[in-house]
Amino acid sequence: MSAYLADVAALARKDLKLELRARDTLPAMLLFVLSTLVVFHFALPADAGEDAAYGLLWVALVFTALLGLARAWVAEREAGALDGLVLAPSDRSAIWLGKTLATLAFLAAAELVALPAFVVFFAPLDASALGGVVLASIGICAVGSLVSAMAAAARGREVLLPLLFLPLAIPLVVGGVGASISPDPGTYLAFLGLYDAVFAILSWAAFEYVVTE
């Protein structure tokens, strides 16, 4: 078990180090989310309520995550390293977990910029809204890492990834927006937790089948 966790930690650390050196994905995500929020200001009519802004926050987060996910497996694919990882004597699901944690770190970094910007530009965020962001981010990265690996095996992968990901992201958007605007956010947070549990376990179990030749 501890060997498994050590593998996961090593894989996640590798991704973070690569990003620190290359610095191509994270700055793009930060800039993208800020630009999107600005575009949304112009997209919202003057009398749109606060609730509409929360909806747009979630659109921004989902598409920023897609940006990060599109690049999630690029390094492995270009170096042909995915085959090497798969052959290595570690459980293949550890690859998924490492990638998910690394992607989560990038998304969290983007959110650290996006959320204060949102509060400044649009509307306040309370604890339940933030809880929604945390839970939904986990779901986004768990499902996204798996789906991104699927797309990586395909032609036209840049276009395919959003098509595969967006239907799966719909429940997360519902949960996130609900946690932000509903008077009873507990239900939505519980729902996000349920989504995370179901799809994290599914992704964890299914990753091996997606990635072996």
Residues 6+ apart with CB under 8 A from 49: none
Told to check if 60 binds another protein by CB under 8 A, we report no
**Measured distance CA(36)–CA(64) in Å, rounded:** 9
Q: Which one of residues 150, 189, 200, 204 is an interface residue with another protein (CB under 8 A)?
A: 150
The 66-95 site mask, x for binding another protein (CB under 8 A), equals: ------------------------------
- H or E element, residue 17: helix 2-22
List the one residue from 177, 189, 200, 204 that touches another protein (CB under 8 A): 177
* Helical (H) or strand (E) element with 178: helix 157-181
Residue 126 makes contact with another protein by CB under 8 A: no
Question: Which one of 164, 189, 200, 204 is in contact with another protein (CB under 8 A)?
Answer: 164
Residues 6+ apart with CB under 8 A from 48: none
- For residue 154, state whether it binds another protein (rule: CB under 8 A): yes
* Residue placing its CB nearer to another protein in the complex, 81 or 154: 154
Q: Look-up: residue for tokens 């052959």? A: 87
Q: Residue 44 gets which letter from DSSP? A: S
Considering the rule CB under 8 A, would residue 175 count as an interface residue with another protein?
A: yes
Compute the radius of gyration of the chain from its Cα atoms.
Answer: 17
For the record, the structure tokens of 64 come out as: 């920023």
Q: Which residues bind another protein (CB under 8 A)?
A: 51, 146, 150-151, 153-157, 160, 163-164, 166-168, 170-171, 174-175, 177-178, 181-182, 187-188, 191, 194-195, 198-199, 202, 206, 209-210, 212-213
